[in-house]
Amino acid sequence: MRNVYVLGTGMIKFGRYPDKTVPELGAEAALTALKDAGISIKDVEMFASGNLYQSNAMVGQRILQQIGQTGIPVINVANACATGSTAFREAYMAVASGMYDVTMAVGVEQMGKQGLLGGGGGGSDPAYSTEGRIGSGLMPAVFGQAGMEHMRKYGTKLEHFAKISVKSHKHATKNPFSQYRNEVSLEDVMSARMVAYPNTLYMCCPTGDGAAAAILVSEDKLKQLAGGRKRARIAASVLTSDPYTDRDLTLPDVSTLTRRAAQKAFEVAGLGPKDIALTELHDCFATAELVHYENLGLCGDGEAGKFIDEGGGVHPGLGGKSPVNVSGGLLSKGHPLGATGVANICEVVWHLTQDDRAKERQVPNAKAGMAHVIGLGSACTIHILTV
């Protein structure tokens, strides 16, 4: 497999764009990435598009209608919350395999005020239903249950989950691409409307619209096109799904596939958790972020509460360590499903390359970063990038 680099990135501010179409949102991010890379659409040899809610509508081809059709192969990807990051991985594999030298990945979604999302995995298939087991198949309940298990097993407190929300909202104030940029206090979070215990309103990610794009190139093309600019290398690109366990069908396991993906990603990259300067992980709910601290090896099993109390996950500029979701994460930046995976990678790339788009929140001396997304049903991607 060849070395693959991220030559350019593009992202729109997450929010709500009722007057724009999905292809228009994706095209805006794509054109920004092309400009950042210093190339045109004529230089792109393969295109991977991630979109979930219009997955049968040839979104990739419709984006190319906006930015210039060139006859290149287009892959449309739908993989739950890991849709965008799976599209990115397709673009990565196309270059790493030697088939192409320049590829593009775009993740885009238009969700507006869609409201609470249902469970993944089997749709209405009763074999996958969580009804009667945890009371609801809606995502707040599924991830609330994951938090409850951690509380039962390790004595984690509601306050620990609330501190994650406070941290993420604080981080978002430095991110102009974030859907929400308002600070919240610990009291605000803990006294907010309960959605699914222990997740209150501020512990749940908002829905909205968004798009992000990346241009990937081989090492030879990097030398031709980068002009000496620092560019991030993809040190590991891993995709996993759930192995069989007795509990899978009726009680979703949000941890096992992440643990397996992390183990493999660190092995491929030749790095460990302590080498990671920043992590953008899938914090669809505060409970998810907490359990993923342990799943990704940022702290030991049962130590997430202590990790939080000691400043874990907080930007070093705010007195923390092992920063997580300095973008504001899904809790503040937003979670337009198809866009999330590529957006997480963009954030990591910006810090590694000291891009001006992350200037206000730059993590100092960042040499390696990790982007993580899971989708129940199931899919987990982890990308480790280095400079």
pLDDT digits (tens, 9 = 90+) for 253-288: 889 999 999 999 999 999 999 999 999 999 999 999
The CA-atom distances, in angstroms, between 294 and each of 299, 303, 341 are 5, 7, 20
pLDDT digits (tens, 9 = 90+) for 299-353: 999 999 999 999 999 999 999 999 999 999 999 999 999 999 999 999 999 999 9
Phi, psi of 233 (to 5 degrees): -100, 140
The whole-angstrom distance between residue 304's C-alpha and the CA centroid of its chain comes to: 20
Map residue 104 onto helix, strand or coil. strand
Both tokens assigned to 232: 């991030």
pLDDT digits (tens, 9 = 90+) for 356-387: 999 999 999 999 999 999 998 889 999 999 99
Average pLDDT score over residue span 84-104? 98
Place of tokens 């990704």: 296
Whether the pLDDT of residue 123 is over 60: the answer is no
Q: Cα(331)–Cα(289) distance, rounded to whole angstroms? A: 10
Average pLDDT score over residue span 228-235? 94
Q: Cα(188)–Cα(206) distance, rounded to whole angstroms? A: 17
178 against 122, higher pLDDT: 178
Q: Which domains does the chain have, with CATH numbers?
A: 4-115+206-386 (3.40.47.10)
User: pLDDT confidence of 140, banded at 50, 70, 90?
Assistant: confident
Angle CA 6–238–72, to nearest 5: 50
DSSP state of 207: P
Helix spans in the chain (H):
22-37, 59-67, 83-96, 139-154, 158-172, 186-191, 219-225, 256-269, 286-295, 304-309, 329-333, 337-352
Yes or no: say if 344 and 371 are a contact pair by the CB < 8 Å rule: yes
Q: Considering only CA atoms, which of 35, 77, 14 is closest in space to residue 340?
A: 14
The mean of the pLDDT values for the chain is: 92
Active-site residue 81, yes or no? yes
pLDDT the model gives residue 260: 95
Whether the pLDDT of residue 102 is over 80: the answer is yes
Q: Which of 81, 205, 346, 380 is catalytic?
A: 81
pLDDT the model gives residue 112: 80
Burial of 71 (0-12, 13-18, 19+ CB in 10 A): exposed
Map residue 117 onto helix, strand or coil. coil
Give the list of residues 6+ apart from residue 387 with CB closer than 8 angstroms, or none: 230, 231, 232, 233, 352, 353, 366, 367, 368
User: pLDDT confidence of 120, banded at 50, 70, 90?
Assistant: very low
- pTM of the predicted model, to two decimals? 0.93
The CA-atom distances, in angstroms, between 42 and each of 34, 67, 69 are 10, 10, 9
pLDDT the model gives residue 141: 85
Whether the pLDDT of residue 249 is over 90: the answer is no
Phi, psi of 184 (to 5 degrees): -135, 150
pLDDT digits (tens, 9 = 90+) for 196-223: 999 999 999 998 999 999 999 999 999 9
Which of 95-99, 108-112, 211-215, 268-272 is predicted with the least confidence, judged by mean pLDDT?
A: 108-112
pLDDT digits (tens, 9 = 90+) for 12-42: 999 999 999 999 999 999 999 999 999 999 9
pLDDT the model gives residue 88: 98
DSSP structure string for 240-254: E-PPP-TTTTTS--S
Q: What stretch of H or E contains 119?
A: none
Whether the pLDDT of residue 58 is over 90: the answer is yes
Q: Cα(324)–Cα(165) distance, rounded to whole angstroms? A: 12
User: pLDDT confidence of 122, banded at 50, 70, 90?
Assistant: very low
Yes or no: say if 77 and 83 are a contact pair by the CB < 8 Å rule: yes
Map residue 353 onto helix, strand or coil. coil
Which of 65-69, 95-99, 227-231 is predicted with the least confidence, judged by mean pLDDT?
A: 227-231
pLDDT digits (tens, 9 = 90+) for 74-83: 999 999 999 9
Whether the pLDDT of residue 128 is over 60: the answer is no
